[in-house]
Amino acid sequence: MPVGYLIPVLLVAVGTLFALRPVPWSHPLGRPSYYFGLAANELPFAAFFWLLLLPTVLAFAEGDIDSAGGWATVVLAAATLPGLAVIAHRALGDRARIGQAMDEGLGAGWRTALDADLAGGLRRRPPLVRILFLPVLKRRRDVRRVPNLAYGDAGRRNLLDVYHHRSRPQGAPVMIHVHGGGYSGGHKNSQSLPLLYRLAGQGWVCVSANYRLRPASQHPDHLIDLKKIIAWVREHAHEYGADPTTLFVAGSSAGGHMAGLAALTQNDPAFQPGFENADTSVTGAIYLNGWYGTYFGQGPDSSPLAHITADAPPFFLAHGDKDTLVPVADARHFADQLRQISTAPVVYAELKGGHHAFDLYHSFRFDAVVDAIEAFTAWVRSQKTTPKP
């Protein structure tokens, strides 16, 4: 039995199975289903090349396929290919589905409303080489990361990183991102890095931050931390070339929940103890595979749903229809409530076959989301600069 060949093929086969048929998180197999399925679901091309094709070629070249076990492994690899093809087809199709969501949220003619300079900077095609062969590499040579800047007094849980273009252009818009982890784990410099590096490469100033975690901290401590981050940006972002009058807040999973709350409670002194007069308004919100409900059984005020008003800022939401941690029905409900109450545009992109935490890698799916976020923010910024009749 060629064990060195069997292991990568088995990993891909199991991941493909769980990507196509994810197990609910509450099931005993929920965690392995999530972790194996996520990798295969977002990286089908890399899985095919690095873990199926290359090992198969090497196994034949080295004469390892000389037993029943060796040929059984070849059959398993071949049987996995159709599943990977289905996964890849769904991911490739998300670009068109996200485009349709943009049309529905902003109007079919939204592209004509873009500022010419902003429209010219939008990416026309995904980074194919990186997606196909190096999807886990996020860094860019033209972007500098300034790590571990303190914005509060909670030690390492109150540190943030700044990403900016090395040329440090002036007047840059700001994107703040907060990570997920169920409010009990996670760290900055982990999620949505393809988004942060992409925007920073386009001249944005991006911030990724830690925040206090449970059980030592509870709601609204996390939200207060995000408000402190916004206040810090308003005070210090000019040092990195930013103009924080244009400031978007984004988050993944629990961070999406927090970003949604921050966007819907702008300048609310109840969540700004000791800095009540700080400007914590935002230009728009990006909500990625987020949680929409209440905070661990607390009252309804701990849910973003309780804070939707007519003057809510523009929202961009993206959620996978195979998310086993947050049901897609919750995302649909939140988007519907926003559309019914808010006068600002709401873009809701539902990702076919998307799992939770789809924003970890350079993938066809997430790069399509990144391109849409860049276009969405360009549209919002264009509305700010367009003279009103």
369, 318 Cβ separation under 8 angstroms: yes
Catalytic, 190? Answer no
Cα–Cα nearest to 47, from 132, 129, 139, 127:
132
Distances (CA, A) of 12 to 57, 75, 177: 16, 13, 31
381, 246 Cβ separation under 8 angstroms: yes
The helix/strand/coil state of 152 is coil
DSSP state of 336: H
Choosing from 64, 225, 323, 359, the catalytic residue is: 323
CA distance 143 to 373: 19
Kind of pairing between the strands at 159-165 and 205-209: antiparallel
One-letter amino acid of 90: R
Per-residue tokens: 146: 């300034």
One-letter amino acid of 51: L
DSSP state of 63: T
Choosing from 253, 302, 303, 363, the catalytic residue is: 253
Residue 209 half-sphere exposure toward CB, CA atoms < 13 A: 35
Backbone angles phi, psi at 303, to 5 degrees: -105, 140
355, 34 Cβ separation under 8 angstroms: yes
Choosing from 356, 359, 362, 367, the catalytic residue is: 356
For residue 327, cis peptide bond before it (omega within 30 degrees of 0): no
Distances (CA, A) of 289 to 172, 192, 366, 374: 27, 11, 11, 17
Distances (CA, A) of 211 to 285, 293, 299, 318: 18, 20, 22, 23
Catalytic, 225? Answer no
The helix/strand/coil state of 38 is helix
Catalytic, 208? Answer no
The residues annotated with a catalytic role in the active site are: 253, 323, 356
